[in-house]
């Protein structure tokens, strides 16, 4: 596990993070709505604020297609 530079608690990254159950298909496609649903699902899955914030920062670092790719990459889309 990677350690946060100013925090004693371990922050999981990449493949260490469990996928969250988050419905994307058939829901509001607004970027902020997607991020809100993801954030709520990540919290339910036990993600820390730092872990969730890192994914959201990455998702918002480019265009809408990038946002969808990042968020869907962290979601278990088959189990909903």
Q: Residue 8: its pLDDT value, please?
A: 44
Domain limits for position 43: 21-79
User: Does position 70 have pLDDT exceeding 90, yes or no?
Assistant: yes
42 occurs within a structural domain: yes
Number of domains in the chain: 1
16 occurs within a structural domain: no
Question: What is the DSSP code string of 2-65?
Answer: EEPTT-SSEE--GGGSPPB----TTS---HHHHHHHHHHHHHHTT--HHHHHHHHHHHTTS-HH
Q: Write out pLDDT tens, residues 14-69.
A: 667 889 998 888 788 999 999 999 999 999 999 999 999 999 999 999 999 999 99
8 occurs within a structural domain: no
53 occurs within a structural domain: yes
34 occurs within a structural domain: yes
| pTM of the predicted structure, to 2 decimals | 0.76
């Amino acid at each position: 596990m990677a350690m946060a530079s100013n925090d004693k608690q371990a922050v999981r990254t990449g493949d260490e993070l469990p996928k969250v159950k988050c419905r994307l298909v058939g829901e509001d496609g607004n970027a902020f709505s997607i991020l809100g649903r993801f954030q709520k699902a990540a919290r339910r899955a036990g993600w820390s604020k730092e872990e969730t914030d890192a994914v959201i920062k990455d998702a918002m670092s480019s265009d809408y297609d990038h946002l969808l790719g990042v968020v869907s990459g962290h979601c278990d889309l088959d189990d909903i």
